[in-house]
Structure 1
Amino acid sequence: MTTYRDAVAVEATVAEKAWGEAFGRAMSVVAGCFVRREARATAAELVTGLLLEVDTRNCWTLGQALGHPGPHRLQHLLSRARFDHDLARREIAGLLAGELAGQEVVLVVDETGDAKSSTDCVGAGRQYSGAIGGVGLCQVAVHLAAVTSTTKMILDRALYLPADWAADEERRQMAGVPEHVTFATKPQQALAMVTDALATGIEARWFAGDEVYCGRELRRGIRALDLGYVVGIPASYQVTDGAGHRREARKLVNRVRPGQWMRRQTGHGTKGTREYDWAWLDVRPDDTPDENENENENENENENENENENENENENGAGAGAGTSVLVARRHRYTGEVSFFRCWAPGDVSLATLVEVICRRWRIEEAFQLGKGFTGLDQGQVTCWNSWMRWSLFSLIAAAVLALTTAAVHEDSEPPPGLVPLTCPELIRLLRALVLPPPARDRDHVLHWIAWRRHHQAVATTRHQQRHHRHDQP
């Protein structure tokens, strides 16, 4: 164990230095986005505070942990400070682009939701979210992550406004939603973020998403950006086989003979190596950019469509210069449950490459867990547009600095046999012990905050009762 402790001590020294460099670079690239240095200093405090060991993360708890007399400085930064948060997000994306240069990057998109108690919160409405386990009152945001073999970083996010919310001028005005922000579907938001990420310098070859992002409009846009894609599809999704026949994915996979399934390793879990059986079938592409089609664009409903296929398609269903279009099936080795993925690549591609991209798609869930567990991604308790955009931005900056620090530690030090590589949760424990300031907990400060919270809650209760009384009057 002494050898292991010595190795961890070396990593701790490297991590301490790497954190200082990564944090300094992140805050320096966004420095020009602030009009006043006071707001810039508060932003650095907020990013640091998001990583402190506190029960929950919002302006009240972080204000107390940072030693502030109240939450007002943080609330001002989030809502009213003169700060170009859109430019700051692009600057951070440019920083990450430099770190990811030369690596095989997959752009992964997925949404996550946060439960809310009122529709007054910007974008809150009754909608489906896997994070809350069904349909409920929540906010939903689409996130874009850059995933490599060793790193996962969230690059961008877009708050989804339901159609009724986006059309409600009164609620838009109360929440401060900009006029140029209109209703957009989640696939449209995803395409806009991918386009912007490539413009900021992210070098990627693949796009990956789940069933929400399998529509033809998005896939056509991804192909126009010269990216390959891997998107999940439901079993009832219809594709066109090499002979030109429309079939559901679950029926088409019946053509795979038992000996054609290939078992491949997809990762490691707590119970050992994860393995699945894989197979692929050639299908005809239906999303060639700028092709003329007279058909219904809504593929999720699997309606009958009249397609104008490329006349130069060969017997495998791929047109000349059209790349490789295949349907990939993944079968659980024990239960036999089958999942389906529609894939396209600009050139030739192997099944092993497609399996690797499919497996990387799941790493955005790890990024969500990191953001929600350690950087307060879903804990802001903000209600307005500016506040939501800025809180989520600072959470992403904190997560990006952690990812940069972890990558630097892996590059500069090698763990000995018997230790797994340093993970972000372990890195946070090191930083809390060595670098980050401890939460302010002196007696006078704690008593001040207890009195402040109780007085604020008493005032809020009185105001709510007065408002209810006015509404009850005839």
Structure 2
Amino acid sequence: MKTENEAVAAQATVVHAGWGESFEALMGRVAGCFPRRETRLTCRNMVQGLLMVKDSANCWSLAEAIGHTGPHVLQHFLSRARFDTEAIRRSAAAWTVEQLGDREVMLVVDETGDEKSSLDAVGAARQYSGALGGIGLCQVAVHLSYVSADGHALIDRRLYLGEAWAADDERRELTGVPDETAFATKPQLAGAMLAEAHASGIRTAWVAADEVYGGRELRRRIRSLGYGYAITVPTSHHVTTPGGGKSKVTALLERVPKRAWMRLKTGHGTKGERLYDWAMIDVHPDDTPSGQAAGHSQVLIRRHRRTGSLSFYRTWHLDPQPISVLVSAVCRRWRVEEDFQGAKGLAHLDEGQVTCWTSWHRWSLMSVLAYALLAVGALQQRRHTTPADPDDDLAMVPVSPHELLALIRAFALPRPRQDADPAHVLRWSHWRRRHQHRAADCHRRWNNVTAVVIA
């Protein structure tokens, strides 16, 4: 018992010290992007608040937890305060990349949707979202995740404006969309983020994405940046094989001998290793930028060993790569799904009740910063933990961001103000009720005016 208590005490000390060091390092990195001390302190408070609040988060719940007397400071910070949002993102991304290291780097592009209740929110429209499981009223954003051998986290995002939204001058003006922001497809948004990552110093990496991003234009841009890629393609995708002419990827199955299939591990779950059968076929590259060598292009075929279901992937690298490396590049794409789950579930990425362009970018940025702290903190905890002995009855799995957040709330973060100050709870109760009364009264007045006009 004494040994276990000592281990718990040591864990608490490591968590507290590690969190404080990482938090101050990240806040110090972005501090120069704020021209005023007030906005710099609000940034610190908001990042902490996003991790303090357990239930749904908005300006009201964050302000109450932080200790503000109302949501006005946070609302001003998100919508009207003067600072360079993208300069902060670049500084935070550079810090995250440094902490996660540069071994076996991969840049993963994917999109996610946030359900909305109104068309008033910037970019909100009835559109497809995998997160919603179909078509619904939502905002869709394309994200970029940085994946290394040690960890992974989101480092960039772009809000997708559908073609109708981008052409609607009235809605653009109401939500503050900049004049220079034109319609861009999701692959074009992905290309812009990859170019930004390249300009920031990430020069050697694989790029992974799903079939939305498998078009020739983006693949050519990835190659022009010097990256290799492993991208899912649909069954309708056409390729040209040496001496075989042009055909759909599904037709390649006829050219794969039985002995060519390899059973490889694609990951490790709670129920054991996940194994699939894989085959690789060389194809002619159709996306070579001007002046660049052709390199080595393949189609990977993945077959479920029990159901026989198939998936197809287009890969390219300047140098020849063994199938094990290509399969690893394909499988590591799923790290972005873990980042989406963590950023939404732990840092409230999808809960910002914001309607305008600037406030959306700032809310998402604060969530990305909060999640980056958890991702880096979990990595630091793993480095301080002795690898588990399979024969040790007290062995534990590595600390996850979710588990780390529980420890940080217990040992490092301030307690939400309402948990320790009944007077604060009463003040907020009075404020909410007064605000709700005024809002209901305004709605009644407006309904009376519109009723007279219609009559």
**Would you say same fold, with TM above 0.5?**
yes
Structure 2 CA distance for aligned equivalents of residues 129 and 9 of structure 1:
45
Letter in 2 for 1:373: G
SS at match of 1:51: helix
Displacement of 1:2: 6.4
Amino acid in structure 1 at the alignment position of 2:226:
D
Q: How big is each residue's C-alpha offset from its partner over 1:402-425, in whole Å with a ceiling of 9 and x where there is no partner?
A: 122222222233254321111111
User: Structure 1 pair 67/116, CA: closer, same or farther in 2 (3 Å)?
Assistant: same
Instruction: Give the counterpart of 1:392 among 351, 364, 373.
Output: 364
Point out the more displaced range, 133-142 or 90-99: 90-99
Residue type of the alignment partner of 1:450: S
| Residue of structure 2 in register with 1:374 after alignment | 346
Per-residue CA distance 1:411-443 (angstroms, 9 max, x = gap): 233254321111111111110000101112222
How far did residue 158 of structure 1 move?
A: 0.2
Aligned equivalent of 1:31: 31
For 1:436 and 1:430, how far apart are their aligned partners in 2?
A: 9
Residue of structure 2 aligned with 1:470, choices 424, 437, 449: 449
Gaps of 5+ in 1: 292-319
Contact 2:101–2:148 (Cα < 8 Å) also in 1:
no
Residue 214 of structure 1 corresponds to: 214
1:427 corresponds to which of 394, 401, 404: 404
Letter in 2 for 1:465: R
CA contact (8 A) 1:124 1:137 kept: yes
Asked if 2 retains the 8 angstrom alpha-carbon contact of 1:94 and 1:202, the reply is no
Q: Deviations over 1:90-135 (max 9, x none)?
A: 1112212323443111000000000111111011111100111111
1:97/1:201 contact within 8 Å kept: no
Q: 1:289 to 1:4 in 2, by over 3 A?
A: farther
Partner of 1:307: none
Aligned CA distance change for structure 1 residues 84 and 4 (closer, same or farther; 3 Å): same
| Contact kept? 1:15, 1:406, Cα under 8 Å | no
For 1:205-354, what aligned pairs fall within 5 Å after superposition?
A: 205-290=205-290, 321-354=293-326
CA-to-aligned-CA distance 1:132-162 (integer Å, 9 cap, x gap): 1111111000000011223011110000001
Aligned to 1:455: 434
- Please give the TM-score of this superposition, normalised by the length of structure 1: 0.91
Q: Which residue of 1 aligns with 2:129?
A: 129
| 214-223 or 112-121, larger mean C-alpha shift | 112-121
Q: In 1, distance between residues paired with 2:363 and 2:159?
A: 12
8 Å Cα contact 1:7-1:415 kept in structure 2: no
The aligned amino acid for 1:337 is S
Provide structure 2 residue ranges, at least 5 long, that are not aligned to the other structure: 390-394
**CA distance in structure 2 between the partners assigned to 1:120 and 1:270 by the alignment:** 42
- For residue 471 of structure 1, report the CA deviation from its aligned partner: 3.0
The whole-number CA distance in structure 1 between the counterparts of 2:308 and 2:49 is 47
Instruction: Give SS of 2:358's match.
Output: helix
Q: Distance in 2 between matches of 1:431 and 1:134?
A: 36
Question: What percent of counterpart residues are identical?
Answer: 52
Structure 1 letter corresponding to 2:60: W
The 2-side partners of 1:176 and 1:5 are apart by: 55
Structure 1 residue 36: Cα displacement: 1.1
Provide the C-alpha distance between the structure 2 equivalents of 1:12 and 1:274, rounded to a whole number of angstroms. 34
Q: Alignment RMSD, CA only?
A: 1.6
Contact persistence 1:107–1:204 (CA under 8 A)? no
SS at match of 1:146: strand
Asked if 1 retains the 8 angstrom alpha-carbon contact of 2:268 and 2:274, the reply is yes
Per-residue deviation, 1:3: 5.3
Whole-Å separation in 1 of the counterparts to 2:66 and 2:444: 33
Residue matched to 2:114: 114
Say yes or no: does 1:12 pair with 2:12: yes
Bigger drift between 320-329 and 105-114 goes to 320-329
Check conservation: 2:229, 2:317, Cα contact below 8 A.
Answer: yes
Does the 8 Å contact 1:229/1:343 carry over to 2?
yes
Q: 2:97–2:146: 8 Å Cα contact kept in structure 1?
A: no
